[in-house]
Amino acid sequence: MDFTMGESAARLRGELRRLIAEEVPADYLGAFTDDPADLAVAQRFCRVLAQRGLLCAAWPREFGGAGASVWEQTVVREEMWAHHEPRGAQYMGVNWVGPTLMRHGTPEQQGKHLPSIARGEVIWCQGFSEPDAGSDLASLRTAARPDGDGWRISGQKIWTSYATMAQWCFLLARTSNEGRKQQGLTVFLVPMSAPGIEVRPIRSMLGPHHLNEVFFDEVRVTPADVLGTVGDGWAVVQEVLAFERVGIARYARCEKLLAAAPEVLGTRWDEVPEALRARWARMLVRARRARLLAYQVVSMQSSGRVEPGDAAAYRIAVTRLDQESAAVLTELAAYVTGEDKQRRQYRRAVEDHWRYANAATVASGSIEMQKILLARALLGDRRRAGEAA
């Protein structure tokens, strides 16, 4: 099985790895730590990527991209996640906010938002989940009521990553209570500086900036802030979730940490129990499987269609890989002794991976909801096949 994607992709990987080696400290473990210098590294690196046309490589040139293929963008995505995402929170704007604006935004919205995303100058947060509407997102209660020629938004969002530093919020709110709960939802592009918005950080083991509550108290928005059609936000969000779920190449980080284990352990690799080495090998196989599932969804995206069942299958595979590889890596790390730089950095990277993996099967839609989506897709395929027969 060829995972290289050809010579141009191989050259791009080489360029990205050189840039990371030059611009990102070797002990970097992400932008959102207790050290402000880590966020500064990410912001600087985003500008470096943007100057080389690599931050939004697959975007059309008229929107600030380089017109590269989706496969080249996939290479960027994999290398970023393999190296602890030195773009910081920019992946959100690059992977799905920008593409959604291209598909549903007005020319004015595109001109206002896309250039700043392409330059790596703006951070977005996602206003979806609520205390009583997480996996069942359509049950959300944050409401936008008519107010003159616009709306007033009131409600609460939770688990909102990067809200303390974001300049804009991609917000889903209810504009009507008529019909099914999936109807009457609207997407708004809301500046986080708007009066009436309060952000309260949620302490967690992931570190600062990640999780927050966001309260909206009569926040004023205008027709210019509506993305797409009023009341048709659910269709927009379904596209968003498909792009988001494949846009985080967790398998690349898992595979890198797993593949590095024998070298880091050195002669102690022979001391690892046979059963643990067998689990390590299975995790490498599953990392390749998750990669293939991601490529399937990327191929579908490139043709303009994304099937919810395929995105769900990928999501199930990669989140389970995240957690089960974290368990294997944690056991292997117990054999990594010594305080030289390589071993110390490896132990820290494994610990960081373990912390994030704990939430993997809940974040961006729980694994239970992904199984429901996959089951519905499979049952629908069977029904259509039966009708055709």
- pLDDT at residue 389, as a whole number: 45
> Which of residues 370 and 329 earns the better pLDDT score?
329
Residue 345 has phi, psi (to 5 degrees) of: -65, -35
- pLDDT at residue 365, as a whole number: 67
Mean pLDDT of 27-34: 87
Mean pLDDT of 335-357: 90
Mean pLDDT of 214-224: 97
> Which of residues 313 and 252 earns the better pLDDT score?
252
Mean pLDDT of 362-376: 78
Which of 79, 130, 244, 255 does the annotation list as catalytic? 244
- pLDDT at residue 189, as a whole number: 98
Active site residue 7: no
Domain ranges, ordered by start, for the chain: 7-122, 126-232, 249-383
- pLDDT at residue 209, as a whole number: 65
Domain 249-383 annotated CATH 3.40.720.10: no
- pLDDT at residue 131, as a whole number: 92
pLDDT tens for 118-162 read 999 999 999 999 998 877 888 999 999 999 999 999 999 998 988
**In the 8-state DSSP scheme, what is residue 93?**
I
pLDDT for residue 233 is more than 90: yes
CB atoms near residue 317 (< 10 Å): 21
Write the CA distances from 36 to 33, 39, 349, integer angstroms.
7, 5, 19
pLDDT for residue 279 is more than 90: yes
Of the candidate ranges 11-15, 185-189, 244-248, 314-318, the one whose mean pLDDT is the lowest: 244-248
Amino acid at 123: I
Amino acid at 259: A
Mean pLDDT of 221-240: 92
- pLDDT at residue 322, as a whole number: 93
pLDDT for residue 4 is more than 70: no
CB 122 within 8 A of CB 189: no
Q: Can you say how many angstroms the Cα of residue 262 is from the centroid of all Cα atoms in its chain?
A: 29
Write the CA distances from 178 to 152, 181, 223, 231, integer angstroms.
19, 8, 21, 10
Most confident among 93-102, 149-158, 198-207 (mean pLDDT)? 149-158
pTM of the model: 0.84
Classify domain 7-122 by CATH architecture. Orthogonal Bundle (1.10)
pLDDT for residue 1 is more than 60: no
C-alpha span between 56 and 108 (Å, rounded) = 20
| Tokens 């938004």 found at | 153
Mean pLDDT of 259-263: 96
- pLDDT at residue 90, as a whole number: 87
What is the average pLDDT score of the chain?
Answer: 88
> Which of residues 43 and 209 earns the better pLDDT score?
43
- pLDDT at residue 344, as a whole number: 93
Nearest to 90 by CA among 54, 60, 66, 138: 54
Look at the domain 126-232 and name its fold.
Butyryl-CoA Dehydrogenase, subunit A; domain 2 (2.40.110)
DSSP SS3 for 365: coil
Confidence class of residue 379 from pLDDT cuts 50, 70 and 90? confident
pLDDT for residue 387 is more than 60: no
C-alpha span between 172 and 177 (Å, rounded) = 14
pLDDT for residue 65 is more than 90: no
